[in-house]
Amino acid sequence: MTKLEAVIQPARFEAVKDALIEIGVEGMTVIEVRGHGRQKGHTEFYRGREYIVDLLPKVKIEAVIPDAMVDKAVTTITEAARTGKIGDGKIFLSRIDDAVRIRNDERGENAL
């Protein structure tokens, strides 16, 4: 099993979510986050007041998926989240040893 963490533009979240559900990834955790990578912040003004926008809003999607689905999921996310501009986000993958479904104690991929 692989844990997939995708940090994406909020505006692309619905498209990414729908695309993941379409390929069979139904369980996911979504978190509202702020951050920056190469897309640094900038300064804005409203009525003379300065707002430093150094951490930009992002959405983080976490999902644990069977290894066989990883490539498809990554392709799906990149296609749905890509706008071609700086700030489209990143995907991180890491190994997961086990999973437990609390309701009935199912283990491993059966618990996903």
Partner 1 sequence: MSSEPQPRGLSSSGSPIPNQPADGGLRNFYRQEFDRVHRDFVATGSGLAALSDRTRLVDKLALTLWEQHLPSRPRCGYALVALGGYGRCELFPHSDVDLLFLTEDEEKRDQIKEGVSSICQQMWDCGLRVSPSTHTIADCARLNQENIEFTLSLLDCRFLAGDRLLFDGLHEKKLPELIAREADTLLQALSSITEARHHRFGKTIFHLEPNLKDGPGGLRDCHVSRWIGMILALVAGNKPEVVGSSKNAAASAVLEAIEFLSSIRCHLHYRHNRDDNNVTWSAQEELAARGIGTGSGPLSPAEWMRLYFGHAKAVYHDSGQLLKQVMEGRSSLYRSFQHWRSRVSNSEFSVVDGRVYLQQAASARDAEAVLRLFVFVAKHGVALSAEAERRISEVHLRLVETMPQDQSLWPHLRDILTQPQAANALRAMHSLNLLTHALPEFEAINLLVLRDLYHRYTVDEHTLLAIDVLHQLKIDGDEVLRPFAELLGEVEHPELLYLALLLHDTGKGLEGSDHVYSSLQFTQTAVKRLQFPEEDARMVAFLVSSHLEISSTMRRRDIYDPGTVAELADKMGTPERLKMLTLLTLADIKAVNPDALTPWKAENLWRLYAATANHFDRSADIAGLDAGASRGAVERIIGLHPLRRSEILHFLDGLPQRYVLSHPAEQVVQHFRLSRQLATEVVQLQLQPHSGQCELTVVTTDRAGLFRTLAGILFGWGMDITKATAFSNSSGVVVDSFYFKDRFRTLEVNPSERECFLRSVRDILLGEAPLEKLLESRLRGDRQPVKLAVGTRIRHDNECSARNSLLEIVTQDRPGLLHTISSTLTKEGCSIEVALIDTEGPLAHDVFYLTRNGNKLTSEQMRDLEWALAGELSDSLPTW
Which residues make up the interface to partner 1 (CB under 8 A)? 9-11, 13-14, 32-34, 44-49, 51, 53, 56-57, 83
**Helices and strands (H, E) in the chain, number of each type:** 2, 6
Considering the complex, what minimum distance in angstroms separates the CB of residue 4 from partner 1?
A: 22
By beta-carbon proximity to partner 1, the closer residue of 85 and 95 is: 85
CA 82, 88, 7, 93 torsion: positive or negative?
Answer: positive
Q: Which residue has the tokens 């069979």?
A: 24
Residues 23/15/89/45 CA torsion (nearest 10 deg)? -170
Considering the complex, what minimum distance in angstroms separates the CB of residue 25 from partner 1?
A: 19
Considering the complex, what minimum distance in angstroms separates the CB of residue 102 from partner 1?
A: 14
Token pair for residue 6?
């995708």
By beta-carbon proximity to partner 1, the closer residue of 10 and 24 is: 10
